[in-house]
Amino acid sequence: MQVFVPGVDDAIIPRWIARMNGLGMRCEIHPGFSFKDHSGFLPFRVSLERSAHEQLVSGDYLAGFELYVREFNLAREVAALTPKRTLLEKLSRRRREPVYLASPEIDQKLARCTKELSFVWGSADTLELRLATLSAAILSEITDGVCFYPADNIWYSNEGIVENALKEAESYESSLKPTQLKLHRFERWL
C-alpha cells in the first residue's frame, strides 16, 4: 500500500500507536524508529485482545512490515506519465487532454502531498497484513493523506478506512486454520 501525506514526522507516532491500541490490540513500535531515517523492516510488539484464534490472544508477538519513505511531487509524477508531444501535435497547437495520476479529485489532494510511505508485507507472519494495512489506514487518516492499493488500482477515501482495514485483517486471520498461523513470540527487540 502507498500513503501520500502532506508531511510526516515523529510527532505523529504517539497518535498512530494510540489509534492502533484502540482496535482490540496492544502494540508498541520499535523504540528506535524515526520517520527521518527509517528504511526497511519495522518491528512491533503486538498482543491481540480478541481473535477467532485463541492462540493469537495468548501472548506478545514480534511482527512487522517493511516501510519506505520517499519524497513525492505530483507534478513530477504526472510529467513522467505524460507522453511527449509529436511534431504534428506541436504544429496543430491543439490542446491536449489533461493527464492525472489518479483523477481530478484525487490529484487535487495529492497536489499538497510531499511524502510517499510504502507499506510492504508478506505471508511470513500472520500479523503482517494487520499491522501494515492498519498502519497505512491510520497514517492516511491522521495526516489527511491519500491511501492507494496499487495491485488493484484502488484509491481509498479516508472515511471508515481504519474500520474497513480492521475488518479485512480480522477476516483474513479467521480464515486461517490454527496450523496455518505463523507467529513469532516476542523475546526482545531485533
pLDDT 10s digits, 29-58 = 999 999 999 999 999 999 999 888 888 887
**What pLDDT is recorded for position 50?**
87
Cα Rg of the chain (Å, integer): 20
**What is the percent of the chain where pLDDT is above 90?**
77
- Kindly provide the residue ranges of all beta strands, DSSP E only, lying in the chain, ordered along the sequence: 2-5, 25-29, 40-48, 61-71, 115-120, 146-149, 154-156
When comparing pLDDT for 96 and 181, which is higher? 181
> Model confidence over 95-130: pLDDT tens digits?
777 888 999 999 999 999 999 999 999 988 999 999
Mean of the pLDDT values across residues 68-93?
A: 82
**What pLDDT is recorded for position 98?**
83
**What pLDDT is recorded for position 89?**
63
**What pLDDT is recorded for position 131?**
97
Neighbours of 90 (CB within 10 A): 10
Among 139, 141, 115, 114, residue whose Cα is nearest residue 42: 139
- Mean pLDDT of all residues belonging to the chain: 92
**What pLDDT is recorded for position 63?**
96
Name the band, by pLDDT with cuts 50, 70 and 90, for residue 91.
Answer: low
Question: Position 156: which residue type?
Answer: Y
Q: Using N-to-C axis directions, what is the helix angle for 128-143 and 161-175, rounded to 10°?
A: 180
**What pLDDT is recorded for position 55?**
80
